Amino acid sequence: MLASVAQSPKISIIPQPVEVKEGNGTFVVNASTKIFLSKEDASIKKVAASLNGEISAAAGFALNIAVGSRIEKNAIYLQLLPTPDAKLGDEGYRLVSNVNEVTISANKPAGLFYGVQTLLQLLPNEIESKQVVKNKKWTIPVVSIMDNPRFAWRGLMLDVSRHFFTKDEVKIFIDDMARYKYNRMHFHLTDDQGWRIEIKSLPKLTEVGAWNVKKTGRFNFFTPPADDEPRNYGGFYTQDDIKELIAYAKDRFVEIMPEIDIPGHSMAAVASYPELTCTPGTYKVNSGEQFMNWYDGGFSAMIDNTLCPANEKVYTFLDKVFGEISALFPFEYIHMGGDECAKNFWEINPQIKELMQREKLKDMHEVQSYFVGRVNKIIKSKGKKMMGWDEILEGGLVEGAAVMSWRGMKGGIEAVKLGHEVVMTPNSHVYLDYMQTDGAIEPPVYASLRLKKVYELEPVPEGVNPKMIKGTQGNIWSEQLFTNRHLQYMVWPRAFAVSEVAWSPKTTRNWNDFIGRVEDHFDRFNYANRKFAPSIYDPVVNAKKNEKNTLFVDFDSEINGLDIHYSFDNSFPDSYYPKYTGKSIEVPVDAAPMKLISYRNGKPIGRMMTITIEELKKRAGKNKVNTNEE
């Protein structure tokens, strides 16, 4: 007979804590376990209630919550420290468990909340279930954890303009954020496809601007709507909805930053109030049909979608908008957008020319800078600070503005040198609407971003004062996101990587260790019925040609231990088909579309991929394969 050895459950926490010391044995949560609070405090009670709610949903029993000292075994203690621990700051915590009890201590309620999120991740994966899991032992490993975040700004941006997400769907998004210790939700509320927030003094913004024509297919390739097609697709949040979301987020220690994207991206506003444009005409909220020309090195608008910097009505309009926004949102910043403003209509407008002459503005960048300066004064007059995308640097950055650097790191570096605070959110690493794997099996977007690339982000460039980098965030633009399920698919697991970059020490990050934890959390997501992308199992496909114009393919993978099997005869490969050995594969002259799939330990784990020979030739381009491999 083999001796039975008690083992502690595997510890798999995202984001990785600062210090983890594992012990032996487990603490068992059962119907007799109690939650004790160190003091009578409404915030601590909410944290305890959230923990109790998770346990009750999955285990089928609720724990008794009481205020009390450390007098009982079989207890979970949540305590605010009477003397602050300098290592923990406002959001850090200590979690210590033994076979009799679990103690989470922190300086502030936020730290207790994050400690509880870690505690939930120490429980079996079934804790994520919304249905009672029977005959399960709810164990917590004996462990000592000290943890605090690297950055104060740990954000995700949600675009609800291109496609509207309901209040309840936004709450789910906030729940998922909080589980992984995010604390900033950037709320992209306005764009060309919809104005999503009630402004009571400007009712047409939601009467007209919140609605377009429902289209199904691929955004930016839709046919233009007919005049008689119903404009009933979209929606908006009332001010009461916004208050409810802010309170909901606050209970989860998430601050919401609103964005009103101006002067470009303003078709919904212009459709509602046409007098705000430089270009008189009839305007309608965009439904996803093309109205911008994008080309190497720039872009232009086919229809003017901007607010007019030379029109005083615009600033009266914005004073009303930011007045009501400021009264609603307690967060210190308001984001004014400022990105991708097409200026080709400005260039031919007599009002703009007159403005340039009067204000001594040299070019269109300075025209936009003039506009940004006026907006900054309005926002400051409401008691708020302004933030904008890195285009607000062009033409001169206004005093006191913070910058979100999205076109790589360059804008952020420049802003820091000018003395401005920065949130690093480069599209090269954190644009979560990009394809996650090969375009052969992903909904098509103009760029790809694999999980490993996200994990490689370092928000503090060399030579930059780290105190000026507020943090980082992932951005989720919703042009191609038609449902909440697809939103989840695009966000996870890449948001795991962003959370670890934002929270964990740079020195502890390890890709192979991270991937192991990601796979454990896939299991948690299955119990929670959250959708995620299994893209880490899909091969990376590269094509090359030699000097004889012979086509070759190579495969790679983000994770170790995958076997890649392929075919060129239109059949579906399995583990009995040829396996990639690391040597370039010559594509047969008359090959049918290539099919490939990844296996691990003899079982399929990746998705079946099909790539046409024409696509492989396109990818090959001018690449040359090493002739020694031929």
Task: State pLDDT tens for residues 264-284.
Answer: 999 999 999 999 999 999 999
* Whether 265 is catalytic: yes
CA distance 583 to 589: 18
Among candidate residues 54, 191, 192, 433, the one labeled active-site is 191
Quote the pLDDT of residue 512.
Answer: 96
Burial of 619 from C-beta contacts in 10 A (0-12 / 13-18 / 19+)? middle
Distance from CA of residue 199 to its chain's centroid? Answer: 27
C-alpha atoms less than 13 angstroms from C-alpha of 104 in its C-beta half-sphere: 27
Burial of 290 from C-beta contacts in 10 A (0-12 / 13-18 / 19+)? middle
pLDDT tens for 139-150 read: 999 999 999 999
pLDDT tens for 237-249 read: 999 999 999 999 9
Residue given tokens 């309620």 in the structure block: 109
3-state secondary structure string, 29-48? Answer: ECCCCEEEECCCCHHHHHHH
Structure letter (DSSP) for residue 73: S
CATH 2.60.40 fits 538-629, yes or no: yes
Quote the pLDDT of residue 398.
Answer: 87
Q: What angle do CA 462, 559, 428 make, to 5 degrees?
A: 35
Quote the pLDDT of residue 70.
Answer: 67
Q: What φ, ψ does residue 473 adopt, rounded to 5°?
A: -155, 155
CA distance 212 to 214: 6
Q: Are 181 and 112 in contact (CB under 8 A)?
A: no
Q: Does the structure show a pLDDT above 70 at 494?
A: yes
- Which residues, listed in sequence order, are joined to residue 66 by a DSSP beta bridge? 36
Q: Does the structure show a pLDDT above 90 at 184?
A: yes
Confidence of residue 296 (pLDDT cuts 50, 70, 90): confident
Confidence of residue 8 (pLDDT cuts 50, 70, 90): low
CA distance 63 to 54: 11
Q: Where are the domains of the chain?
A: 19-147, 153-277+302-340+383-531, 538-629
Confidence of residue 395 (pLDDT cuts 50, 70, 90): confident
Confidence of residue 69 (pLDDT cuts 50, 70, 90): confident
**The one-letter amino acid at 608:** M
Q: What value does the mean pLDDT take over residues 167-189?
A: 98
Confidence of residue 4 (pLDDT cuts 50, 70, 90): very low
Quote the pLDDT of residue 630.
Answer: 34
Q: Per-residue b/e over 349-372, b at no fewer than 16 CB within 10 Å?
A: beebeebbeeeebeebbbbbbbbb
Burial of 565 from C-beta contacts in 10 A (0-12 / 13-18 / 19+)? buried
Q: Does the structure show a pLDDT above 70 at 623?
A: no
Confidence of residue 1 (pLDDT cuts 50, 70, 90): very low
Structure letter (DSSP) for residue 562: -
* Whether 340 is catalytic: yes
Confidence of residue 467 (pLDDT cuts 50, 70, 90): very high
Among candidate residues 163, 186, 265, 565, the one labeled active-site is 265
- Cα–Cα distances (Å) from 570 to 447, 543, 596, in that order, read 28, 19, 10
Among candidate residues 41, 90, 251, 340, the one labeled active-site is 340
Q: Which of 284, 325, 322 is nearest to 193 (CA)?
A: 284
Q: What φ, ψ does residue 497 adopt, rounded to 5°?
A: -65, -45
Q: What φ, ψ does residue 276 adopt, rounded to 5°?
A: -85, -10
Structure letter (DSSP) for residue 493: T
* Whether 191 is catalytic: yes
Sign of CA dihedral 318, 321, 323, 328: negative
Q: What value does the mean pLDDT take over residues 491-501?
A: 98
Q: Residue ranges of the alpha helices (H) in 78-226?
A: 109-122, 167-179, 204-207
Residue given tokens 């496909």 in the structure block: 541
Q: Are 494 and 451 in contact (CB under 8 A)?
A: yes
Residues of the chain with pLDDT > 90: what percent? 93
Q: Does the structure show a pLDDT above 50 at 57?
A: yes
Ordered DSSP codes for 452-491: HHHHT--SS-TTS-GGGEEEEEEEE--TT--SHHHHHHHH
pLDDT tens for 367-389 read: 999 999 999 999 999 999 999 99
Q: What value does the mean pLDDT take over residues 508-532?
A: 97
CA distance 405 to 166: 28
Q: Does the structure show a pLDDT above 80 at 562?
A: yes
Q: Does the structure show a pLDDT above 80 at 554?
A: yes
Q: Does the structure show a pLDDT above 80 at 629?
A: no
Look up the CATH architecture of domain 153-277+302-340+383-531.
Alpha-Beta Barrel (3.20)
Please provide the average confidence, as pLDDT, over all residues in the chain: 95
Q: Are 518 and 495 in contact (CB under 8 A)?
A: no
Confidence of residue 78 (pLDDT cuts 50, 70, 90): very high
**The one-letter amino acid at 369:** S
Q: What value does the mean pLDDT take over residues 184-194?
A: 98
Q: Please tell me the class of the 19-147 domain.
A: alpha beta
Residue given tokens 């991206």 in the structure block: 265
Q: Does the structure show a pLDDT above 80 at 13?
A: yes
CA distance 425 to 431: 8
Q: Which of 539, 512, 510 is nearest to 600 (CA)?
A: 539
Confidence of residue 303 (pLDDT cuts 50, 70, 90): very high
Structure letter (DSSP) for residue 435: B
Comparison of pLDDT for 69 and 501, the residue scoring more: 501
Q: Which of 343, 502, 338, 466 is nearest to 407 (CA)?
A: 338
Q: Are 384 and 332 in contact (CB under 8 A)?
A: yes
Quote the pLDDT of residue 72.
Answer: 72
Confidence of residue 5 (pLDDT cuts 50, 70, 90): very low
CA distance 610 to 593: 6
Comparison of pLDDT for 625 and 203, the residue scoring more: 203
Quote the pLDDT of residue 622.
Answer: 56
Q: Are 267 and 303 in contact (CB under 8 A)?
A: yes
Q: What angle do CA 207, 484, 330 make, to 5 degrees?
A: 60
CA distance 533 to 558: 14
CA distance 111 to 115: 6
CA distance 158 to 140: 34
